[in-house]
Amino acid sequence: MMHMVKNGLAAIALASLPLVGACTKVEDDTPETATRDDGTITLAAALAAEGDMAKLRDALTQSELAGLLDGPASYTVLAPTDGAFDALGDDGKAIFTEEQRPMLIALLRDHLVPGHLTPETIAKAIVDKGGPVTMTTLGEGEVTFSQDDKAITVTMPGGAKAAITGTSIAANNGVVIPLDAVLLPAKDS
């Protein structure tokens, strides 16, 4: 017996609040993509409010990891859009079967980063370091963030690459950062 939990829907009135602080340059340059800060909602609510994340929501539900998004720990979700999942073709559908659930989880873990990252802090870290920066993931390895002409890109050790696209949402237990592609791990290590 599962009952839908419908409390808290009203809290999804997201305020487009510009961030202040050390990264004002980045935010000023791209105000339309500045992270929306809403500490009143969880990652689950943030994802539920996203219009282009239905496949990712399905993936998290099928993977049985959805509970993490309402939990006390903080995760940043590198969140491929629906179009990114569609681009995976038949193999992208195969990972949604029960038989391949471990594989789907493996894929999702590569898209989870510990803690609360925003594109603004990533951009600042790239500037501070003077080049690409790396973050560990909850999966096989780490991801590398780089600053291209206009977008921040994410790469996996195997060469898979995606760009941060659209508006990120900072929730109280993590951040949703939209990606335009799914990051597939290296074929063999």
Partner 1 sequence: MRYVLAGVAAAALAAGGAYAEPGKGNGNGKGERAATAKQDRSPSRERGTQRAERKSDRPAASRKSVESRSVEQGQPRSSERRVERGNDRGVGDRGKAQRGSGDRRIVDRVDYGRDRELLSLDNSHGLIEGCPPGLAKKNNGCMPPGQAKKYSERGPFGYSYRPSLFGLGSYGDGRYYYNDGYLLRLGSGGGISGYIPLLGGALAIGNPWPNSYAYSSVPDYYVDYYDLGGRGGYRYADNVIYRVDAEDAAIMSVAALLTGDDIRVGQPMPRGYDVYNVPYAYRDRYYDTPDAYYRYSDGYVYRVDPETQLVAAVIDLLV
The Cα diameter of the chain in Å comes to 53
Of the pair 83, 115, the CB lying nearest partner 1 is at 115
Of the pair 152, 180, the CB lying nearest partner 1 is at 152
Least gap, CB of 37 to partner 1 (angstroms): 6
Beta strands 75-80 and 112-114 are antiparallel
Of the pair 7, 148, the CB lying nearest partner 1 is at 7
Least gap, CB of 142 to partner 1 (angstroms): 5
Least gap, CB of 118 to partner 1 (angstroms): 5
Of the pair 37, 180, the CB lying nearest partner 1 is at 37
Helices (H), ranges, the chain: 24-29, 43-48, 54-63, 82-86, 89-94, 101-109, 119-129
Least gap, CB of 52 to partner 1 (angstroms): 15
Helix (H, G, I), strand (E, B) or coil at 124: helix
Q: Give dist(CA 65, CA 68) in Å, integer.
A: 6
